[in-house]
Structure 1
Amino acid sequence: NNNSNNNNLADVTAKAGSQSMLASLMGTTLGIGLSPLLHDVPQFAMAFLCLSLIHQTGHYLSLRHVPLTRFNRHRLHLVLDPSCVVVVEANNNNNQGELLPLLSPQDVAARENYLPWYTKPDQTHEWLTIGSDVAALGGPDRVLDLLEERKDEENYIAVTAKTATGGSVSPNDETTTTTTTTTKKQQQQQQHRIQLVFMENATSVDCIRGMLFAHLLHYGVDREEARHRIDNEFPTFLDELQRVGWNIDSVNIEPGDAIRLSLEL
């Protein structure tokens, strides 16, 4: 079981269990060895706290060395965020930035947040909602307009908070955004909450594509440019994800109460 090191939940659980048993045996041995040297309650309490801290630190470090190759929302954000930052910086310098290179599962494992006081592992909860209901998207009529303008191959729609209650939509575009500033820099500085909703038949690849689109919008990339980049670079992007070790066939980024849209003809 000590050789179990990635991906499978049973393997990870077995590894954690074997390490816990080893730590317990070592702690018991140390406790027996230290007990003759301890003579009062404060000393016993201090020794207990020190051994517990060592145990928990070892457990935490072991988690950071177990790479998981399937995406959840946090891991996908850790992969997408640096790439989108590169694109934005390149745009600001009038260069053609690329989405590559990408973090590997080993890189992401070292960056994941496991500590209990991180109720939200990253900042996406401040600007991204996945699986919004119809009301958050602007009501039934608004959703129908978005669905009618959606291409057949687009299995998601993304709407910014400012246009969820109104505004115009460009034809054949999967997102809508209202520009309330006069310069691109001001637009990038403005915070918009993005509502991202997937169609009922959306695949794992569609989820990755939708998240990438939402991240580009969040960083102020113009929607047409973001769409153009995804159309041109997404196949290479997927190939690179697989090359560095990610499994793109299983993606779990939607909360339990997320809503998917379906079309009934």
Structure 2
Amino acid sequence: FTPKNNIYFTLAAKVLDIPAINNIAGLGSVFMSKGMVRIICRHLYRFSQRYAAKIFFQNEDDRELFLTEMLPDYLYTERLPGSGVDLMRFKVTPAPDDDVVRFILISRMLYSKGVEHYVDAARKLKKRHGQRCEFRLLGFLDVNNPAAIKTERMAAWIEEGNILYLGTSDNVEQEIALGDCIVLPSFYREGVPKSLLEAGAMGKPLITTRNIGCQDTVNEGVNGFLCEPQDTGCLTRAMDRIINLTHSQRLDMGNESRKKMVREFDEKIVISRYLTAIEQVLS
């Protein structure tokens, strides 16, 4: 479900006469621009995906763009609820009730994931609320990506004293468990962000943007808040609302997240749809 796999392995499968079922898990940063790379990628998708037996999409915006710009006559598309979430692994875990509201952003450390907006919001909220709130970052730093945040930039942010950078973790649920709210102010062209699904499954309120893929995880005011992409003021206000809730109110909002994940994003739904697609292709 990455672009190179979807494009090149579909062509390889065609040569070998093997049916290919693809998953377009977000069109990524390429389709945020209008340059030559987007044109080349669009042509590669158009050429290769006509040979796919079926194509899954993780949100309706990507599906519509694909059918409009690349394969308007392609019939075998279907929308999945993201990659789904393992509801047995990611169980409801209330945050500590210790008068500190902990926010956490989990992603690759990219500017397009809204990390800088999160840091700017943390700076403002720390000035307003002091030790009453804490702001954490978890994810790969200085990755091979033009939008990557460099180590020295992160060091400068840490030096300011407003954020904690946790590095990376193979047990992300342990970090989510300590959080009162998970934040992802992404303006990247997402599928459906896994970090939001996992945090929602653990009973956490969510703050994210009215962005493709992200907005599917939140019912405004029920299990979290939506803000405008690249709008630090809007993000700050949403996070301030979480701080001003009682611990009990945050838990209630988090329980609504869990219900939404069970209802819409259980990975068993995704697995079942895959198995059905395979049966259809083989028959």
TM-score, scaled to structure 1: 0.29
- Bigger CA radius of gyration: 1
Give the TM-score taking structure 2 as reference length: 0.27
